[in-house]
Amino acid sequence: MSEIKNAEIKAVLLHLGHNMWCDYMPEDMDNQQLPSGKPDTILRSKEDLWRRAIDRMVEQKMNMLVIDIGEALVYPSHPELAIEGSWTPDKMQEEIRRLKALGIEAIPKLNFSTTHNGWLKHYRRMVSTKEYYRVCEDVIRDTGEIFGTPRFFHIGYDEETAHHQDNSFHQFICVRKGELWKHDFLHIVGAVEKNGMRAWAWSDYGWDHQDFYEWTPKSVLMSNWYYDECYGGFELEANNTADHKRLKGFYDLEKAGFEQVPCGTNWSGWKRREVNAGADDVIGKLVKTCRRDLGSKTLKGFMMAPWASCDTEDNLAYVNHGIDLFAEALKQ
């Protein structure tokens, strides 16, 4: 176990569930009325494609899989959150054992950001109520037990802004701010720690709220994500784009003393798409920059997030390409 804890994290984020990007109509309305972002009612991920992505991870010597679960698990305390094809606890435990035998540590991820909590179905309209806190605590406990009390539990918490919800599929917009956001974030962190796990979170809230680095417990493992969407580069002083604050996040976390796992991608942001640049260079430059500039004690490893589901051959190819790019980047 000590070898696992001390090894550089080489994590890949894969989506088993997909209802982090959807909305739900009230129970007496038809979800087909949504103009877009209709929730999946049948599990999107295909098990054969899922396994082939993991096979590529093994070939490329990845050691951690962060499973974006959402609606893909039958939670014993809240089976109403499941959809057709959701994995039973027994099936998930079988997969965790299989991954362990392959040398891959399975880490659960549930996103509690109001921008990505469609998987909570009607509970997403109960945010910051006693019922909401109870449901969140229940699914954290269930997941922790099913995963065998993993050392990390990713809680998401990214992109909770009105801007990120001002799109065609968010019919219900909910954004916490200030002391309420802080209260709920710490409540979820506390629920994770109460169940013997360490909270892992996206750190983008700190881009516009510097006090985040002051009041957040140092026990939280942080992932700042930088995809160079504006195509401004990886040199902090030379980057004059809107991405500057995102790149600066790595240095802010380092200065504040957080352990971190920087996250890169092969997904192309708007500017890269505009100039047809692609994003194959992102993860390599990210690894090089962070290894050069961050302390060895705080830099715990890296994560690749292809942001594609294992649901089609094309998406699998995209995921596997991201894994290959990541493996090459780590050889630097």
CB contact set of 135 (below 8 Å; sequence gap of 6+): 78, 120, 123, 126
pLDDT tens for each residue of 247-260:
999 999 999 999 99
Residue carrying the six token digits 């302390």? 295
Side-chain half-sphere of 23: how many Cα atoms within 13 Å? 22
pLDDT value at position 304? 98
Annotate 248-285 with b (16+ C-beta within 10 A) or e (fewer): bbbebbbebebbbbbbbbbbbbebbeeeeeebebbbbb
Q: Is the predicted pLDDT of residue 332 greater than 90, yes or no? A: no
DSSP secondary structure letter of residue 78 = B
Q: Which residues pair with 107 in a beta bridge?
A: 66
Confidence class of residue 25 from pLDDT cuts 50, 70 and 90? confident
Grouping H, G, I as helix, E, B as strand and the rest as coil, residue 67 is strand
Cα distance between residue 39 and residue 227, in whole Å: 27
Q: Is the predicted pLDDT of residue 2 greater than 60, yes or no? A: no
Question: Which range has the worst mean pLDDT, 124-138, 166-180, 217-231, 302-316?
Answer: 166-180
Q: Which of 140, 266, 247 is nearest to 198 (CA)?
A: 140
Cα distance between residue 222 and residue 207, in whole Å: 13
Contact between 227 and 267 under an 8 Å Cβ cutoff? The reply is yes
Looking at 3.40.50.1820, 3.90.1150.10, 3.40.50.620, 3.20.20.80, the CATH number of the domain 2-330 comes to 3.20.20.80
Q: What is the DSSP secondary-structure string of 21-43?
A: S-----TTS-GGGSSS-PPPSB-
Q: Enter the tokens of residue 53.
A: 């992505």
pLDDT value at position 6? 79
Contact between 9 and 300 under an 8 Å Cβ cutoff? The reply is yes
Which amino acid is it at 95? E
Q: Is the predicted pLDDT of residue 5 greater than 80, yes or no? A: no
Q: Is the predicted pLDDT of residue 305 greater than 90, yes or no? A: yes
For the chain, domain boundaries: 2-330
What is the average per-residue pLDDT within 173-186? 97
What is the distance between the terminal CA atoms of the chain, rounded to a whole angstrom? Answer: 26
pLDDT value at position 4? 65
Confidence class of residue 27 from pLDDT cuts 50, 70 and 90? confident
Q: Which whole-number Å values give the CA distances from 191 to 70, 127, 130, 176, 207, in the listed order? A: 17, 16, 14, 19, 25
DSSP secondary structure letter of residue 225 = B
Confidence class of residue 37 from pLDDT cuts 50, 70 and 90? confident
Q: Is the predicted pLDDT of residue 201 greater than 80, yes or no? A: yes
Q: Which whole-number Å values give the CA distances from 33 to 73, 164, 172, in the listed order? A: 26, 21, 13
Confidence class of residue 222 from pLDDT cuts 50, 70 and 90? very high
pLDDT value at position 28? 82
pLDDT tens for each residue of 58-89:
999 999 999 999 999 999 999 999 999 999 99
Grouping H, G, I as helix, E, B as strand and the rest as coil, residue 178 is helix
Cα distance between residue 217 and residue 224, in whole Å: 16
Cα distance between residue 159 and residue 204, in whole Å: 7
Question: Which range has the worst mean pLDDT, 32-41, 54-63, 295-304?
Answer: 32-41
* Residue 178, phi-psi category: left (phi > 0), alpha (psi -120 to 50), beta (remainder): left
Q: Is the predicted pLDDT of residue 3 greater than 70, yes or no? A: no
pLDDT tens for each residue of 120-142:
999 999 999 999 999 999 999 99
Contact between 124 and 27 under an 8 Å Cβ cutoff? The reply is no
DSSP secondary structure letter of residue 277 = -
Grouping H, G, I as helix, E, B as strand and the rest as coil, residue 129 is coil
Q: Enter the tokens of residue 70.
A: 């959402």
